[in-house]
Amino acid sequence: MAQMPESNQRRWLLLVMKDRWQETIPNEIWQCENFLPESMVDQMLTDIESASAKTLDGNDAKHLVGNTYYNYNVLNELRQNDEYKTAVIDSLNSLYKNVFGKTAPTQGLSALNYFFKTFNPDVSKYDLHTESPELFGDAVFMLYLSDEQDGELVIPTWNECRDLITDGFKEMMEKIDVRFAGPLKILPKKNMCVVMKVGLAHYVKPCSGKRPCVTGWSFADKNYMVKWKEKQ
C-alpha cells in the first residue's frame, strides 16, 4: 500500500486531533488525552532514562521579568530527535491553528520552544509566576509522560495567591497584565497534553516522582535568549 504524502498526513492529523481537545478554562487552557501513540511515549521514557540531565535552579539564574524560584532538569540531547519533535508539534498545531490562527514550525526551534525536562523527587517545584507574552509568545504546552500522585500544575484565584506572592511576583505584576483564572489543579497524567495561554498566574507543586515532561513556548520571541544573555 502506498504511503500517504507527508503534507496529507499532517492535514489528516489536524482533522483527527482538533475534536480531541477539551477547553478546561474558556479561552485560557486546553487539554488533550492520548496525545501521541503510546509506543512513542514509552520510547521517550526509555530514552529519558539514559539521557544526561542538567539541573536548572532559580536561585542561580538570571531573570528578565521577576525573580522566581524553580528547580528541574533539562535533557537537551532529546531535542535532536526529529521524530519526537515532529509528532509533538504537528499534534499541537491541531489546536494552535484553530485558537491562534497560526501553526508552530517543526524546524529551527530554540531550547525555549521545545525541550524535555524531569523533576528531582520531593525537591523540584516552580513557585507562583507567569511569563511575559511579549517574550514568550501566545502559549506554553506541557506533554506529561507519566502518571503522578502529586506535582500538580495549579492555576489559582487571586485570593489563593495572597500567601504565595513573592517580591519577584510583585515585580511581574508591575510589568505584565497577570490574569487569575482559577481555581484549577491539573495532575500529570501519562500522554496528556495541556496548552495554556501565556500570562496566567500559576505554580507547580513538588512531586514525589520524576514527572517527565515535554514542554515549551511554541511562539516565544527568537531574541529571548539574546536578551537573557545580555542581562547583567
Residues 8-64: pLDDT tens digits?
A: 555 555 556 667 899 999 999 999 999 999 999 999 999 999 999 999 998 876 555
Residues 6 or more apart from 160 whose CB is under 8 A from it?
182, 183
Percentage above 90 pLDDT, the chain:
73
The C-alpha R_g of the chain, in whole angstroms, comes to 17
List the Cα angle 67/144/215 in 5-degree steps: 45
pLDDT: is 227 or 83 the higher one? Answer: 83
- pLDDT band for position 3 (50/70/90)? very low
DSSP sequence for 108-119: S--TTTSEEEE-
Q: Supply the mean pLDDT for the chain.
A: 89
Domains of the chain by start residue, with CATH: 21-230 (2.60.120.620)
**Of 2, 87, 7, which Cα lies nearest the Cα of 44?**
87
Contact 225, 110 (CB under 8 A): yes
pLDDT tens profile 189-213? 999 999 999 999 999 999 999 999 9
pLDDT (average), residues 75-86: 95
Averaging pLDDT over each range in 15-29, 74-88, 158-172, which range is the top one? 74-88
Answer yes or no: is pLDDT of 65 > 70.
no
pLDDT: is 31 or 231 the higher one? Answer: 31
Q: Exposed, middle or buried: residue 203 (CB in 10 Å: 0-12, 13-18, 19+)?
A: buried
List the Cα angle 63/69/72 in 5-degree steps: 100
Amino acid in the structure at residue 87: A
- pLDDT band for position 1 (50/70/90)? very low
Give the pLDDT score at 40.
97
